Amino acid sequence: MAASSMRVLYLGPRNNIAHSAASTEQQSRAVRALGGEFVVYDGDSDGELIEALKSADVAINQGHGFKPEFFEQMGNNSRCKGLVSFGHGYDRMDLQSAVDNGVILANTASFGTEEVSNHTIMLLLASSRKLIKHDKLVKSGTWTREHLPPMGHIADQTLGIIGMGNIGRAVARKAQAFRLNVIAYDPFVSSWDAKEYGVEMVDDPLELARRSDYVSPHTYLTPSTHHMVGKEFIAAMKPTAIIINCSRGPVVDEEEMIKALQEGRLAGAGLDVFEQEPVDPDNPLLKMDNVAVTNHYASYSEVAWERGNTQLGEEAVRIALGQWPMSLINPDVRSTVPAREWPKEWKVIVAEAGKA
């Protein structure tokens, strides 16, 4: 396909203030750079969306919502071959339906790697050094050392990471600057690859739970990772240990974590995500001085957000031009669609388009 003939359909936010629909300059940047057509969807019914998909080569979804049955109108059944979604997670996508219909799914993984890993380290330090409690004490006029112990030493302690993807590796790299020993559990990463990052791999999550002073999951939310940090895992942890979660709320069994914190079987937690979002104002975690919380913004910075928005368009272009996306989230689709080219770095695509 000639780049100038590609048509990209943009599905903007629906009642979602996390993404501004005021401008699509960043999202459309890649498409416009190659002379393609970027169409902003303005319909409000399923029928209108299905018709819009029929005339596009690929769609971008940014907070709009997307029903599994729409995949039946895409992929091998239509001109529209793929869907690119904003963010890291894909737990709201029906991957099997997409595979069955030959729909290529991509996201913008890696756009917020630095931000999420920084946020993880921030929450680790805040929790370990009891920042929340002592911040409240000082601001209330109380100057005391009564509540110092137990206090995390950090250096030579052990951080256990679940998931050694982009973010997990970045957290490991930054944690080592604080002289933390890093161990990790990820059944899809070899021990010799992890060795390059100075990380010891363990083959049992419970071993990681028993050995770690800090536990930080960095995994997608799937049926197998739901409540991965659950009752048995938490029971195996040290009473002086701390849970940090900047992945997805349901990866941690919140009810079991609350019980452990209340009973003194955990020392603290640092949380950017919750099982219910927005978090219930009556959630006990919000009333605990040994729990640091933020409102699911770990991936945000202006730089990261621009990168994520721009990446949406770049991945859409790859799919429209017959390449695989850089961040393919349903790799099984390779068995249900015709062969494609491997993805190319964006600057190479632009250079080749200029020579065509």
Residues with catalytic roles: 248, 277, 296
| Those residues with Cβ within 8 angstroms of residue 5's Cβ, 6 or more apart along the chain or in another chain | 36
353 CA to centre of own chain: 32
Alpha helix (H) residue ranges in the chain: 25-33, 46-54, 95-100, 113-128, 131-139, 166-176, 191-195, 205-211, 231-236, 254-262, 302-320, 346-355
Phi/psi at 243 (5° precision): -100, 130
Q: What is the DSSP letter of 285?
A: G
Query: What is the spatial distance between Cα 352 and Cα 119, in angstroms, rounded to a whole number?
Result: 38
214-217/158-162 β-pairing:
parallel
The CA angle 175-177-183, to the nearest 5 degrees, is 35
Please list the residues that pair with 43 across neighbouring strands: none
Please list the residues that pair with 143 across neighbouring strands: none
